[in-house]
């Protein structure tokens, strides 16, 4: 059974240099470490992963307060990612970085991602400088993504405003940010206006599957919400995808399968950040067949991903011919 990791990260040297310049020496609770294709391939081979679809991000994606820097950094890491795919076309894919909040810069980079580099999709961080994905400010970006039938990995980042908590925010705040994005996409009508975008919610959708009944209750309780949605809330839940990165316990897997079905679930690892969670001594951990059974495991491991990553599917077919 082939296995495609849709949620895995790379940190090329120019990106680390930018983080250090902004006094960011860790991300998501994990110390920064040099990334190489060779190290990533060793991890993949050790865990039976055939393909890793890379995204380059830390706490705030590529925007650190300077739009020019963000645009240059996105272009740089996207070009580096494309080179990795050229050298390993059957082992890696790439979700390109988009330099929001500037819409024109984002649209220009989308053209470069698709028309010049031929990457597999894009990633968007949950919010940039306090503006969440789904906000009307970025409407031209959603339209451009829809026109291309884009696959978009939605990844949480450090929330702009949080209470003074005595623990690192990745433990809880990140998944709550993903939930906020989903609600923004639903109640701002983005999922209705742009149905050709394949959205992937990271980490099992944050808390979306668990809160599915509560989310569905909103239009029943408040008339204003009934005017904002065109479909029952469960249909919106089943219109996006959910990766299982750091969300592959039996309880989380069962909750996702019950709420959205295994045809909407995708394999992910969150490596390199989740490196310490991959331990062969923990028998059965990350084993999709053990968690789901053989038929559903194949859907989650590869079939669903290939359906929404056509360029990757073409590369794999070409490698087999």
Mean pLDDT of 200-220: 85
CA distance 72 to 79: 11
**Among the ranges 13-27, 85-99, 306-320, which has the highest mean pLDDT value?**
85-99
How much is the pLDDT for 31?
Answer: 62
Mean pLDDT of 159-182: 68
Residue at token pair 């994005």: 181
How much is the pLDDT for 226?
Answer: 74
How much is the pLDDT for 164?
Answer: 65
pLDDT above 90: residue 221 = no
**Cβ–Cβ contacts within 10 Å for residue 130, how many?**
10
CB-based contact 269:245 (threshold 8 Å): yes
Please give the radius of gyration of the chain, using alpha carbons only, rounded to the nearest integer. 19
The β-bridge relationship of strands 127-128 and 131-132 is antiparallel
What integer best gives the mean pLDDT of the chain? 89
Give percent of the chain above pLDDT 90: 64
Predicted structure pTM score: 0.92
Mean pLDDT of 66-92: 97
How much is the pLDDT for 53?
Answer: 98
pLDDT band at 233 (very low <50, low <70, confident <90, very high): confident
How much is the pLDDT for 155?
Answer: 92
Give percent of the chain above pLDDT 70: 90
pLDDT above 90: residue 212 = no
How much is the pLDDT for 283?
Answer: 58
CB-based contact 153:200 (threshold 8 Å): yes
pLDDT above 80: residue 55 = yes
CA distance 315 to 71: 28
Provide the token pair at 225.
């919400």
CA distance 125 to 107: 16
How much is the pLDDT for 287?
Answer: 87
Provide the token pair at 296.
């559903």
Mean pLDDT of 167-171: 55
Show the CA angle centred on residue 239, arms to residues 232 and 254, nearest 5°.
90
Provide the token pair at 218.
């909103």
pLDDT above 70: residue 26 = no
Mean pLDDT of 158-177: 63
Classified as helix, coil or strand, 230 is coil
The residue that leads in pLDDT, 24 or 26, is 24
């Amino acid at each position: 059974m082939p296995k495609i990791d849709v949620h895995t990260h790379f940190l090329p040297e120019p990106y680390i240099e930018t983080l250090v310049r902004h006094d960011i020496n860790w991300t998501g609770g994990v110390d920064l470490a040099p990334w190489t294709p060779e190290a990533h391939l060793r991890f993949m081979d050790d865990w039976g992963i055939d393909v890793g679809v890379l995204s380059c991000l830390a706490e705030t994606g590529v925007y650190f307060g300077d739009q020019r820097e963000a645009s240059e950094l996105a272009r740089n890491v996207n070009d580096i990612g494309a080179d990795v795919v050229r050298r390993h076309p059957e082992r890696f894919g790439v979700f390109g970085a988009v330099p929001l909040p500037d819409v024109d810069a984002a649209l220009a980079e989308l053209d470069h991602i698709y028309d010049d580099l031929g990457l597999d999709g894009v990633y968007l961080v949950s919010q940039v400088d306090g503006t969440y994905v789904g906000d009307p400010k970025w409407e031209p970006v959603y339209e451009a993504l829809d026109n291309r039938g884009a696959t978009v990995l939605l990844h949480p980042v450090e929330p702009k405003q949080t209470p003074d908590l005595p623990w690192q925010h990745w433990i809880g705040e990140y998944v709550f940010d993903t939930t906020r994005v989903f609600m923004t996409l639903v109640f701002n009508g983005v999922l209705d206006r742009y149905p050709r975008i394949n959205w992937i919610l990271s980490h099992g959708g944050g808390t979306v599957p668990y809160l599915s009944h509560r989310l569905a209750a909103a239009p029943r309780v408040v008339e204003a919400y009934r005017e904002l949605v065109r479909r029952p809330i469960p249909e919106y839940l089943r219109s996006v995808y959910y990766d299982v990165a750091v969300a592959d316990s039996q309880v989380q897997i069962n909750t996702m399968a019950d709420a959205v079905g295994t045809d909407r679930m995708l394999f992910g690892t969150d490596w390199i950040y989740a490196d310490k969670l991959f331990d062969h001594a923990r028998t059965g951990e990350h084993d999709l067949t053990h968690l789901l059974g053989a038929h559903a495991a194949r859907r989650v491991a590869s079939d669903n991903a290939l359906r929404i990553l056509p360029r990757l599917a073409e590369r794999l077919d070409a490698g087999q011919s």
